[in-house]
Amino acid sequence: MRDSKYWNIMISSTLSSLGSSMYFIAVAWILYKMTSNATYTGLMVGMGFLPGVVLNLAFGVIVDKQNRKKLTVISLGFVTLAMIMLLLAMTSNILKPWMIILVHMIVQTFSSLFRTAQQAFITELYKKEDIPRIFSETGSAVSVGGLIGTSLCGGMLTIFPTSIVMLFVCLTFAIGTVCMMLIKYVPRVRTSNSSLKSGILDLKDCFVYVHKNRLMYSLLLIMFVGQLVVHTSAGMLSVYTSSYLHGTSTLYGILECATSVGAIIAGVTATSILYKSKNYVSGLSFGITSIGLLLMTLTRNNIAAFIAILLIGLGTTWVRVLMQSVQQVYTEPGYYGRMAAMRQTINQGAVTIGAPVLGWIAEHHGVNNAYGSLLIPVLALMGFSLFFATQQTFKNVIGSMIPQSQSMK
């Protein structure tokens, strides 16, 4: 049922993604123009991830103790405030590279809190059988917002001053924050117990909970590989376009959109794919992803490359959205925040570890072979997923997410 809560979540997700994509393109452009040194851009990206990796689990503890709606609003509010600070520095002509890096760290940190709080909030708002649909449609909203923001920002930067672009970004986040504020919500009463006396005990309890619920290990591993593929393959796309396809920046932009198109298709079809493939959904998703990676390894055709990237976006989005749904449904309400935070920590760690390795392979053995090397973990996880599909606990969780009318088909 699509009520006002649903539309506020979708609008907020779309606008925050639109603003994030525009913000990143704009600040990367500004930073390079200021410094003429790509090292600063790399430093900005790397430093942006650092606070989240350190703080994600602490955020999970906070989300499990506090009002989840308030935390989504507060986190978006801090992101908006950081954008306003950046805009003021730009209009006052006092902007420095270190300011951009600092603001980016603030944005990334509170974006991590927002994602953790939002996922726990959505899981608390809706019934189990609605979670896959809501998560997949939220994912589609994020992908649509990213696609619009990516397409819009390039054109705006050629027409308007960067301060106008940043003003537009501030407005998108401000409206997204208001949308979350308007959601009517009565928080669940969280009963305290001996394991929730301090932050340290809460963190320890998080790991104990995962160890007691062994299905979590498999779900986290599957999502780790999905995240590794989507981010490292996106990061190498400019190199692939230039050095392997010998294409222009226009082709790069078109191929960049292919990932978003695949993600949008995946978001729209995720629920029906889950209903049809049930516990074999992760194996199917990795199979689709492996076809895309194989095409990237072997082809020099632009159309084939577009199809390959679309398939990678499709397969990895199914993996991430649907396994995220499974994890949240399998999780007890008191651990929603911590499990979402643990997933984010592992996923961000995947990028931190995988990107340098894939970069080295691309530099020494060709960027197409870097894509080919991703086939190793993907095919391994496809085989594991087929075994995982036979596990009764996993079957039971999937069954609880599928309406009775669909499970009989």
Q: What pLDDT score was predicted for residue 146?
A: 79
Nearest to 271 by CA among 377, 129, 85: 129
Q: What pLDDT score was predicted for residue 352?
A: 65
Q: What pLDDT score was predicted for residue 175?
A: 93
The per-residue pLDDT for range 214-244, each reduced to its tens digit, is 888 888 888 888 878 877 776 677 678 777 8
The per-residue pLDDT for range 93-102, each reduced to its tens digit, is 888 888 888 8
Tokens of 237: 């796309």
Q: What pLDDT score was predicted for residue 154?
A: 64
What's the one-letter identity of residue 293?
A: L
Give residues with Cβ within 8 angstroms of 260, minimum separation 6. Answer: 143, 144, 146, 147, 150, 313
Q: What pLDDT score was predicted for residue 407?
A: 52
**Ranges of residues in the chain whose predicted pLDDT is under 50:** 191-196, 408
Q: What pLDDT score was predicted for residue 258?
A: 82
Task: Tell me which residue has tokens 């049930």.
Answer: 278
Nearest to 346 by CA among 330, 327, 333: 327
| Main-chain dihedrals φ then ψ at residue 160, nearest 5 degrees | -110, 160
Q: What pLDDT score was predicted for residue 39?
A: 60
Tokens of 146: 């990213």
Task: Calculate the CA 145 to chain-centre distance.
Answer: 13
Q: What pLDDT score was predicted for residue 67?
A: 84
Q: What pLDDT score was predicted for residue 409?
A: 53
Decide if 124 contacts 116 (C-beta within 8 A): no
Nearest to 337 by CA among 128, 106, 147, 68: 68
Q: What pLDDT score was predicted for residue 253?
A: 64
Say how far apart CA 170 and CA 113 lie, in whole Å: 19
Q: What pLDDT score was predicted for residue 191?
A: 47
Say how far apart CA 182 and CA 177 lie, in whole Å: 9
Q: 3-state class of 187 per DSSP?
A: coil
How many residues comprise the chain? 409
Q: What pLDDT score was predicted for residue 78?
A: 92
Q: What pLDDT score was predicted for residue 45?
A: 62
Q: 3-state class of 95 per DSSP?
A: coil
CA distances from 367 to 252, 258, 313, 376 (A): 15, 18, 18, 15
Q: What pLDDT score was predicted for residue 303?
A: 92
Q: What pLDDT score was predicted for residue 312?
A: 92
Give residues with Cβ within 8 angstroms of 292, minimum separation 6. Answer: 307, 308, 309, 310, 311, 312, 314, 315
